[in-house]
Structure 1
């Protein structure tokens, strides 16, 4: 069994490339997308439809409902399930998506044993200030508005009574796929902006507004996923804060900003990226890897 990862900014064509590769290499697919894991969030997540999946077994899609929790530990469980399935049925594994943090965890590992669902007993600001006093060196890499990482770090201290530095020294990370080959799709900035604009228009034409109305009525605005790009702007439109044209423009702008952050993260976090800005060339490189 061989496994690879295909990454790239949002709207870069990762999903269609992964499906094409999977069809040619007898592979299953693991989605690396933090929004596609939610059932009933179909248009906003741009997840492939069942028809587009072409009969390929997918993991990491439609795993939980929007009011349920899904984080990196659940993703690791999806990865283990996908790999076990691939081995059992003699398939390869293609991992694809834009959530670089999940991929980073696969490669670098994670220290297990800490509950990720403990409710906070103090505010994020109080937790941040406490952690800075407790472990100033470690906290230099966490910003004061990084709610996710502050919660995780605070839970380490709360459950172990150890500073983050002490905890990670005693509980080193265990990688799950340390030598995973990573293929990256790149586009020139203007070309990517055009692709994002086109996809935004398609999402609206396919019924994004109706989907968000349904999600709000069923789940309220409380779940974290309701603040995702595409959903949060549509809620602003429904509140009368944006016109239809402004809604489309704002989704496209915020998506382009996300794409820029994704590119920056990928370049800073992953070594030996095999990058191409032509999909056909990347397709060829990946097929060569599988034929080795």
Structure 2
């Protein structure tokens, strides 16, 4: 088992599929958008023929209106019957969480989830000032989680995490990173975005909006989808829409590169052209 990381549009999926064929491995995708069924173009997930050739876990697992967080990836990983897998994806936060471990979460009912959404950061500060001080007042995900824990356990999140410390879920596996110049990456992002338009990105988003009728869904706030929804509102023309997706994707890629640099100290980094040879020399099938 090993991990392949890198920023969006750096060629991770293509390299992972190539390596999986040579090593007779399967793939666990750590992509927060490919996990959704029906989001095919915006997620730039592998083509159906590639998914049929190589078994992929973490792709097409849930519908866009279903609840999802890092624990879903953990559940998927724990169900894989063997360890001959390549863990690949741009959402390196999930890889970090699986290596470092996360605390066992309490059971959160739909009623508690709905109740938590009615509350806010100020409420969180009242019940657990220490926990609230460690997160941004705009971090809606962690605010919601902290309130959910409190409502489910009647304990402040800080106390709950003290009693339920994180447990590592992955061994210390080799981590390989695609190294790529930002100017080259920007061009790759432009090419990929152009291909998404040609493949029917706008029609895909129109279908998702018509079917689910809720723009507040986390899946519909992803880059490539939220900009098209703004386009539907008349905020951009098509040329500006293209530029906006490229800009926001480039910013995401920069954040991903920074995260990978700071969070994975012992990774091996190399350009994609050289990384395949390095991985094959270090991984014995």
Please classify the TM superposition score into its range, dividing by the shorter chain length.
Answer: over 0.9
Q: Give how far 1:122 is off.
A: 5.1
- Name the counterpart of 2:189: 196
Q: Give how far 1:22 is off.
A: 0.5
Q: What SS does structure 2 have at the residue aligned with 1:68?
A: coil
Q: CA–CA distance in 2 between the matches of 1:74 and 1:250?
A: 30
- Name the counterpart of 1:72: 70
Q: Give how far 1:120 is off.
A: 4.2
CA deviations on 1:98-135 (whole Å, 9 max, x unpaired) are: 112211111011111423553242557x5322333444
5+ long unaligned stretches in structure 1: none
- Name the counterpart of 1:246: 240
Q: CA–CA distance in 2 between the matches of 1:81 and 1:122?
A: 30
Asked if 1:127 is matched to 2:120, the reply is: yes
Q: What SS does structure 2 have at the residue aligned with 1:51?
A: helix
Q: Give how far 1:228 is off.
A: 0.8
Q: CA–CA distance in 2 between the matches of 1:289 and 1:20?
A: 16
Equivalent of residue 161 in structure 1, options 134, 154, 163: 154
Q: Conserved in 1, the CA contact under 8 Å of 2:117 and 2:144? A: no
Equivalent of residue 270 in structure 1, options 264, 268, 271: 264
Q: What SS does structure 2 have at the residue aligned with 1:29?
A: strand
Q: Give how far 1:153 is off.
A: 1.6
Q: Could you tell me the TM-score, scaled by structure 2's length?
A: 0.93
Q: Give how far 1:38 is off.
A: 0.6
Asked if 1:114 is matched to 2:80, the reply is: no
Q: CA–CA distance in 2 between the matches of 1:127 and 1:238?
A: 30
- Name the counterpart of 2:85: 93
Report the count of equivalent residues.
Answer: 282
Q: CA–CA distance in 2 between the matches of 1:210 and 1:80?
A: 35
- Name the counterpart of 2:40: 42
Q: CA–CA distance in 2 between the matches of 1:168 and 1:122?
A: 18
Q: CA–CA distance in 2 between the matches of 1:207 and 1:20?
A: 26
CA deviations on 1:131-184 (whole Å, 9 max, x unpaired) are: 334444433331111111111122222222323222222111111114022111
- Name the counterpart of 2:4: 6
- Name the counterpart of 1:286: 279
- Name the counterpart of 2:210: 217
CA RMSD of aligned residues (A): 1.8
